[in-house]
Structure 1
């Protein structure tokens, strides 16, 4: 068979087209398009429907567009009902309705996690209890929480206020304990509260790796290198710096050795 005939047989048949999304070949009638699109239809009906559903997951219902690459046409209500399946049409219409209702100040969404419904709730007529028409979930519209069973809104306020007061007292007590038992690290830019649980007064904060005296918060390195006069003066470990430093140990030993030699020289031979 000639090569040109093989190419014809392997390509799309007349009246068919390949979908640019799934690469399947269908009849041209299986490629829908919106009235506003000016390009050739390139996406099959099944892929078009899937695109509409995916866009409803990610964007507003009135911003669903043509799935053809490079096309900026936004689909209208008539386009959806012409192109999409019945299930997708229903979903689109529900999203449209919910958007219109949500503009009403009396509209409330159901707060049940697995329910996406909502409805108009007029407090004056319906009272403080919102009951979802889709799932039956009840909500207190005064406090915007699940309905508090066997408890009026006034009693709910008292209970919540009492709990909040107790939590505030506990928080204050905790802060007082922290203030009494900890000191803030004096390292630059730290101020992390540190608690001493025993041992010596040489403290080390791990965050800036800063070492200091627990009693006066003086940096520890100068104390270690130069002595206790580097503690702050109000510290009980502070020792004033001596203006005349002590004699080196080797000098003292030399004086002792010299005195020992003198004693040996002065001792008579017969007394040795």
Structure 2
């Protein structure tokens, strides 16, 4: 195969109209000298081939194959949260309304929902993709959580509470380990609200833990007396004492005269 045929074949492979054929792009005289030398290794000829091909705007066959392989390599996708690439991605974004490709791995998306629901008691879950923020529907959350039934049950509970909170009779359980809520129909007639989940008791009238041993009226009288006592105590302290001049102390002190 002559030089012109080689150039035309490379032109067809590369799709490059700048590749020229014919004698004008022959290899220089030095190449023939190296070719017939017994002391030159094959890698030197390859290196010289690359040099001469570069001058002729033609790539050697080995570099051409590498370039084709690089062009066919798919781009590496990274999760926007964990920044890992060796992770699993869903074939679609979190919602049907998202206008972007899935860029959060399955594990990070599920963990994001779990933290929002279990730690922050949030049921309005939004897509974490930058610039998106679309609200996930009920079926979207269910699909992402998969077999995490505990988180999904808590998510449903938060959705129910969000609806019930619009009722004036809604009472939130004050047990910090519970966080449930319910609508109390008895209101002031039956002031004790017993949580359906943990059985903790809340006073509907005062919205505090149930004051065991006191009716609501007795509790009001007790709190009124306590408030009056606190006011009298502050008035006495202000009238009989003054602040310690030591800035690091600043506590009220009283001077006592002894005969």
**Is the TM-score greater than 0.5?**
yes
TM-score, with length taken from structure 1: 0.55
Alpha-carbon RMSD across the aligned residues, in angstroms, is 3.7
Per the alignment, residue 42 of structure 1 pairs with 103
Higher RCO (CA-CA < 8 Å; seq separation 6+):
2
- Deviation track 1:199-220 (CA, whole Å, cap 9, x = no partner) reads xxxxxxxxxxxxxxxxxxxxxx
1:61 and 2:123 correspond: yes
CA distance in 2, matches of 1:59, 1:78: 19
d(CA) in 2 for partners of 1:133, 1:27? 40
For residues 126 and 195 of structure 1, the distance between their equivalents in structure 2, rounded to whole angstroms, comes to 50
Which residue in the other structure is 1:19 paired with?
79
1:91 and 2:151 matched: no
- Does the C-alpha gap of structure 1 residues 18 and 176 become closer, same or farther in structure 2, counting only changes over 3 Å? closer
Question: Are 2:121 and 2:158, in contact at CA under 8 Å, matched by a contact in 1?
Answer: no
Residues 171 and 183 in structure 2, CA contact (< 8 A), matched pair in contact too: yes
Whole-angstrom distance in 2 between the partners of 1:83 and 1:164:
53
Runs of at least 5 residues in structure 2 that lack an aligned partner in the other structure: 1-61, 246-251
Query: Partners in 1 of 2:206 and 2:90 — Cα distance?
Result: 55
Provide the TM-score with structure 2 as the length reference.
0.57
Q: Give the structure with the larger strand fraction.
A: 1
Between the two proteins, the alignment pairs up a number of residues equal to 183
**Correspondence 1:236-255 to 2 at 5 A:** none
